[in-house]
């Protein structure tokens, strides 16, 4: 049975190709010309043939004129070619093209950040800005305050029930299906499309996200309010509503890597997370990990002054931020773009850290213990140095200098007695 089937298949295969080759030979013999012949054995070849059947014919127009102006309208009409398939379509008044459903573009921008497409000078700038018309977003806020039904709508759903008029306002639709429970409200198939915002424009991006989740806001402040709490940024409102993921995974990663890597590697990892992973709260991640980012800077300060009990402070963190920002700029970004504090580049010296990193309690105890031990000559030098400074200065900032004075005065005597002389 299998042998007979194979024989049948081979016979059909050979007969098809023999017929093709014979037809090609006869065509070439008849026309004595080079001819491309294609065997239409797949569906796409049928589409290829139909494409050329329905294709418009090529046309060219030329003429000879003596002077006079060129009639562009007549040239256009004379140069237009209607194919045999398009002609009946026009005769029977069939639609040439159609788009369904209609799409209404909806603006999204921050407060007082509307696009002004008007020419103005320095003298007329204030007047032009005062006469700026509402976009679809501020008009939506006003609509919500005017109609109760608008309070139930999300921003992208407004065009289904309202029409954007030439007066830059929303008006109820007059055509469409009646909405049950809301007399006078009609629904149409029109859709709203909110302009796309890149994540780099953070606040505007989060505003767009909220407009797809919060029904009927009345203002920018209202859309930032969650459970009666007005947040400072739209991102914080998104976090409170659960629209953004938390940074638990990044906290776990930093804790794990901190056991294996040095602070310099951790800073590079932090920058990579900021740029590639877009954490929801970079400021919180910095606050949690700023100590491990600054350990090497603190260690450097401790080595320069081993007698002082230095700890983490704002200057240490500022130096870490400066290093992170420099690396961030090299990778094409800025700390301000991700919501991190901008470091103070004017404070770069480690000596500044040493001069302000001291414990007043320890210095008071040191002075109280060692001041009675001064010899007569040492006491005279000590009094001469601290005499110009007021009493309150001696008790606070100058305790550090007092300790340094003690070390300067007492150290030679210690070395003398320790040598046994």
- Where exactly are the structural domains of the chain? 1-59+76-98, 103-123+131-241, 247-356, 360-410
Residue carrying the six token digits 């050979």: 14
- Report residue 161's pLDDT band, with 50, 70 and 90 as the boundaries: very high
At 349-366, the pLDDT tens digits run 555 555 555 667 777 787
Token duo for residue 76: 């256009």
Token duo for residue 90: 């026009």
Contact yes or no for 109/135 (Cβ under 8 A): yes
Residue with more model confidence, 243 or 157: 157
Contact yes or no for 269/292 (Cβ under 8 A): no
Q: What is the dihedral of CA 169, 174, 179, 183, to 10 degrees?
A: 80
pLDDT for 14 beyond 50? no
Q: Once rounded to an integer, what is the mean pLDDT over residues 326-330?
A: 82
In this prediction, residue 6 carries a pLDDT of 40
pLDDT for 25 beyond 50? yes
Contact yes or no for 355/312 (Cβ under 8 A): no
In this prediction, residue 363 carries a pLDDT of 74
At 46-87, the pLDDT tens digits run 666 655 555 655 666 666 676 667 777 777 666 666 777 777
Q: Once rounded to an integer, what is the mean pLDDT over residues 10-25?
A: 55
Specify the range with the lowest mean pLDDT, choosing from 160-169, 273-282, 356-365. 356-365
Residue carrying the six token digits 């007569």: 376
């Amino acid at each position: 049975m299998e042998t007979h089937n194979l024989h049948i298949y081979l016979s059909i295969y050979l007969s098809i190709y023999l017929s093709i080759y014979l037809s090609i030979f006869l065509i070439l013999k008849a026309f004595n010309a080079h001819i491309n012949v294609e065997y239409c054995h797949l569906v796409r070849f049928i589409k290829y043939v139909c494409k050329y059947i329905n294709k418009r014919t090529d046309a060219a127009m030329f003429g000879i004129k003596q002077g006079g102006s060129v009639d562009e309208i007549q040239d256009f009409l004379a140069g237009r070619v209607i194919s045999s398939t398009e002609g009946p379509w026009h005769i029977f008044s069939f639609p040439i093209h159609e788009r369904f459903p209609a799409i209404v573009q909806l603006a999204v921008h921050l407060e007082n950040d509307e696009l002004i497409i008007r020419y103005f000078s320095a003298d007329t700038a204030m007047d032009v800005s005062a006469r700026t018309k509402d976009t679809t977003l501020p008009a939506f806020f006003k609509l919500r305050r005017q109609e109760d039904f608008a309070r139930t709508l999300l921003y992208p759903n407004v065009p289904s029930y309202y029409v954007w008029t030439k007066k830059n306002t929303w008006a109820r639709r007059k055509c469409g299906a009646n909405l049950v429970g809301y007399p006078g409200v009609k629904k149409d198939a029109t859709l709203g499309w909110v302009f796309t915002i890149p994540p780099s424009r953070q606040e505007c991006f989060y505003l767009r996200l909220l407009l797809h989740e919060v029904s009927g806001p009345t203002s920018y402040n209202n859309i930032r309010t969650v459970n009666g709490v007005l947040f400072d940024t739209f991102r914080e409102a998104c976090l409170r509503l659960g629209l953004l993921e938390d940074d638990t995974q990044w906290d776990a990663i930093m804790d794990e890597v901190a056991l294996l890597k040095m602070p310099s590697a951790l800073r590079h990892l932090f920058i990579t997370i900021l740029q590639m992973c877009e954490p929801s709260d970079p400021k919180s991640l910095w606050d949690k990990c700023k100590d491990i980012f600054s350990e090497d800077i603190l260690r450097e300060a401790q080595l320069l002054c081993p007698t002082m009990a230095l700890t983490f402070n704002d200057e240490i963190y500022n130096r870490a931020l400066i290093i992170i920002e420099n690396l961030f700029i090299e990778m094409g970004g800025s700390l301000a773009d991700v919501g991190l504090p901008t470091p103070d580049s004017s404070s770069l010296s480690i000596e500044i850290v040493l001069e302000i990193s001291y414990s007043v309690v320890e210095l008071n105890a040191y002075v109280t213990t060692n001041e009675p031990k001064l010899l007569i000559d040492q006491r005279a030098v000590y009094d001469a140095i601290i005499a110009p400074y007021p009493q309150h200065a001696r008790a606070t900032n100058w305790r550090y200098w007092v300790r340094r004075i003690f070390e300067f005065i007492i150290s030679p005597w210690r070395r003398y007695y320790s040598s046994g002389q």
